[in-house]
């Protein structure tokens, strides 16, 4: 299989590249390195089955060249910062919706048979059913980021049904692990390094969400993709997350413990009833029953994933 991974030098993308290369596939990466790093994929840079293209997906010509000759496109390129939506919605549009539109036009005119897209749990908004299944409706994102992901999903579905390729869409919980360079654990570590005596925590600390380690994420993506290829579906949706969830306060306690610190916790109080920021989904846990029916299940629960990630990041950042 010849695969294109957009955002392949980023956090999740680089772990996916590792798995694809280790399985003997040909891999091409398209990344502008705005959020990713060549260090994440340096082991493959001179490999005969690997190709790296530095390019901005807002340029349709760049995208068209990257898609040429591939069998499957794993579309992970995106601005990963949910919070930026309230300050720069136009940037989230460009780096989530526009680049997906450019990619779909390139796929339409190519030999690619499959598109795999990493969407987000944020498309569900404040779901009234928890754990939230894939067929939950109506989808009502409460952030511009969630809206952009949902818009990309809709475009992908429309293009796949119209132009004859198959599309697999993953709605991801909070994905954590080595090489991540944003998010609550990353922020807590850096805050405590600056001030070991006090830790600022956005919101009221009761926000509760599901976390999945990147190793379980990539394994799930590839196992479910294999299952999807053998199905009759044109477009299909799968949640990837965990059966449990963890509060922000509990994450702060694990980070402090692993760093050997006992800081004071200072909660900002947050907005809209204790959320960390405008558009923050306060409670999120996805149903993963559909994914588990394919034979996948996460090795680490949310607590295990958080603790492993803290250890990984303390070694590397």
Instruction: Give catalytic residue positions.
Output: 145
73: three-class secondary structure by DSSP:
strand
Structure tokens at 253: 């306690």
Cα–Cα distance measured from residue 226 to residue 22, given in angstroms and rounded to the nearest whole number = 16
Strand bridging mode 235-240 / 174-176: unpaired
- Residue 17, exposed/middle/buried by CB under 10 A (0-12, 13-18, 19+)? buried
Question: Which residues, at least 6 apart from 274, have a Cβ–Cβ distance to it below 8 Å?
Answer: 203, 204, 205, 206, 207, 282
Q: Which residues of 71-99 are buried (b: 16+ CB within 10 A; e: fewer)?
A: ebbbbbbbbbbbbbbeeeeeebbbbbbbb
**CB-hemisphere CA count at 13 Å for 55?**
22
Residues with Cβ < 8 Å from 293, sequence gap 6 or more? none
């Amino acid at each position: 299989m010849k695969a294109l991974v957009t955002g392949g030098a980023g956090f999740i993308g680089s772990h996916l590249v590792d798995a694809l290369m280790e399985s003997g596939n040909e891999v091409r990466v398209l990344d502008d390195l705005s959020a990713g790093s060549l260090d994440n994929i340096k082991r493959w840079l001179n490999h005969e089955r690997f190709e790296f293209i530095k390019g901005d997906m807002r340029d349709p010509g760049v995208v068209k060249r990257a898609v040429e000759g591939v069998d499957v496109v794993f579309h992970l390129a995106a601005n990963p910062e949910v919070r930026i939506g309230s300050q720069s919605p136009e940037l989230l549009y460009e780096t989530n919706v526009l680049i997906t539109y450019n990619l779909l036009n390139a796929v339409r005119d190519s030999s690619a048979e499959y598109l795999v897209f990493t969407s987000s749990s944020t498309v569900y908004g404040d779901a009234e059913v928890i754990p939230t299944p894939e067929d939950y409706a109506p989808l009502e994102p409460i952030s511009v980021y969630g809206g952009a992901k949902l818009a990309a999903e809709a475009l992908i579905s429309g293009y796949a049904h119209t132009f004859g390729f198959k599309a697999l869409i993953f709605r991801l919980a909070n994905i954590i692990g080595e090489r991540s360079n944003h998010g609550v654990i990353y922020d807590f570590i850096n805050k405590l390094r600056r001030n070991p005596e006090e830790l600022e925590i956005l919101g009221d600390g009761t926000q509760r969400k599901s976390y999945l380690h990147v190793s379980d994420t990539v394994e799930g993506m590839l196992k479910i993709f294999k299952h999807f290829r053998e199905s009759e579906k044109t477009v299909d949706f799968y949640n990837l997350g965990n059966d449990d969830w963890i509060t922000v306060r509990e994450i702060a306690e694990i980070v402090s413990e692993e760093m050997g610190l006992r800081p004071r916790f200072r909660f900002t109080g947050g907005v809209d009833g204790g959320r960390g920021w405008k558009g923050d989904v306060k409670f999120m846990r996805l149903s993963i029953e559909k994914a588990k029916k394919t034979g996948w299940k996460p090795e680490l629960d949310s607590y295990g994933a958080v603790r492993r990630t803290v250890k990984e990041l303390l070694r590397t950042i």
